[in-house]
Amino acid sequence: MCTLSQIPFSNLKLGSVTLKNLSSLGYETMTPSQAQSLPHILKGKDVIAQGKTGSGKTAAFGLGILEKLNVKRFRVQTLVLCPTRELADQVAKEIRRLARATHNIKVLTLCGGTPFGPQIGSLEHGAHIIVGTPGRVEEHLRKGSLKLADLCTFVLDEADRMLDMGFQASLDAIIEYLPEQRQTMLFSATYPGQIQDIARRIMIDPLVIKSAATHDNDSIEQIFFKISDKSDATAPRLTALCLLLLEYRPDSALVFCNTRRETQEVADQLCAKGFSALALHGELEQRDRDQTLVRFTNKSASILVATDVAARGLDIEALDAVINYQLARETEVHVHRIGRTGRAGSKGLACTLYSDKENYKLGKLAEYLQQDIVTASLPALGLLKTPPYKPPMLTLQIDGGKKQKVRPGDILGALTGEGGIAGSEVGKISVLDNWAYVAVKREVSQSALTKLGQGQLKGRSFRVRSIGD
């Protein structure tokens, strides 16, 4: 269910037929994000909204699309791109509901994982609005079965998820086919650098609407834990780290160490205790580094242990926690480390372990941050008896990549086609030169493995195996 504002739809410049239809759908007042965005959308402005599902974003862009539509002109006037078929179906359904008071508006979905031929037939019959997934839409454009010369509205829905699924190249290709004169709307739960780049390239003076949570400056909870330095205490830091992991159970935690050797040792010891941890340091071969980052960012490994140098330039969004195994040598480095959590409107957690010897560094930090350092007690040792938790996803590796012309859409299609798993159960897809990785929900990993292993990509079978478990 969505939260509603007090502002009625009748405040907007909408026709009486549309207002009546909205009311018959039970839409009387706008959601806060609709109230913020619709006045601008209806004026034809480019809009970036950090809308999540449930914010009423579909109706926001849906109304914008429909108000502009010239029903008599039977050409494609709108293209909505979504990351998965399920989302495309939902969006198409919502647009049809919003459009039901106007006759003859034709909405067509074009998604991967469904036969291509019938889609050509449907396109020949014509449509006003296309809702589709990037891979398939691109294919229709390349083959000339979809023409966008009359397009006036372009919508990217869940743009961050589209990039996660590896659709950047398809998006770039599709953008080439769009007329320059158009309205572009971009919806995304998070706003990483890659999305900002796209926005800069394809939008004109966009209005940015953020959800309330992203305005929160206090989005990082910093807690300090004092560790005994006494030599009789057995591995106090490692024990403390395990306790914190078991207490907070972060799906993605970045653990900072000050040396390369310690990074590997900590990761090895966590693995020996049954945690899903990986080490990232300068000595890794490129292939291992790629695989480590893929597994951590697609949430099939929960813990990444890294040095500052190795973590430099990592573009990881939405970390649940940063844990400083050692206090950083410099204050600025500490602030930089903890800034990696608490992004994208979610509250982040930064835990720091320190010992008596580091008290002076802590004093400097308090001065720099101009705030008191809050220390807390570690969870009780009894927690160590709980079994370590598993990450939500599992990575499947496909022994075929860009060089074999494997594309993200092929993988998504093969997984979610007839008898496959749902699009919502597929996570990040990363296609590298000679192999590709796809994350799937752990519960369905066996069926995903079977489906991919038996199926074909680009008319060929590729070896597929799960990695990391």
| Binding interface with ligand AMP (CB under 6 A) | 2, 4, 26-27, 30-31, 34, 53-59
Closest alpha carbon to 429 in 456, 402, 455: 402
Nearest distance from C-beta of residue 10 to ligand AMP, angstroms: 12
Nearest distance from C-beta of residue 242 to ligand AMP, angstroms: 39
Half-sphere exposure of 218 (CA within 13 A, CB side): 1
What CA–CA distance (Å, rounded) separates 77 from 65?
9
- Residues with Cβ within 8 Å of 428's Cβ and at least 6 positions away in sequence, in order, are 164, 165, 166, 294, 297, 298, 299, 437, 438, 439
Nearest distance from C-beta of residue 20 to ligand AMP, angstroms: 15
Residue with tokens 């509205």: 153
Our CB check for ligand AMP shows the closer of 31 and 78 to be 31
Q: Are 91 and 130 in contact (CB under 8 A)?
A: no
| Residues counted in the chain | 469
Our CB check for ligand AMP shows the closer of 188 and 324 to be 188
Our CB check for ligand AMP shows the closer of 1 and 374 to be 1
Our CB check for ligand AMP shows the closer of 21 and 395 to be 21
Q: Residue 79: what are its φ and ψ, rounded to 5°?
A: -125, 125
Nearest distance from C-beta of residue 84 to ligand AMP, angstroms: 13
Our CB check for ligand AMP shows the closer of 24 and 434 to be 24
Our CB check for ligand AMP shows the closer of 211 and 331 to be 211
Nearest distance from C-beta of residue 59 to ligand AMP, angstroms: 4
What CA–CA distance (Å, rounded) separates 160 from 308?
26
Q: Are 76 and 132 in contact (CB under 8 A)?
A: no
Nearest distance from C-beta of residue 417 to ligand AMP, angstroms: 25
Question: For the chain, what is the radius of gyration of the CA atoms?
Answer: 25
Q: Using CB atoms within 10 A of its CB, is residue 214 exposed (0-12), middle (13-18) or buried (19+)?
A: middle
Nearest distance from C-beta of residue 203 to ligand AMP, angstroms: 21
Q: Residue 39: what are its φ and ψ, rounded to 5°?
A: -55, -40
| 27 three-state secondary structure | coil
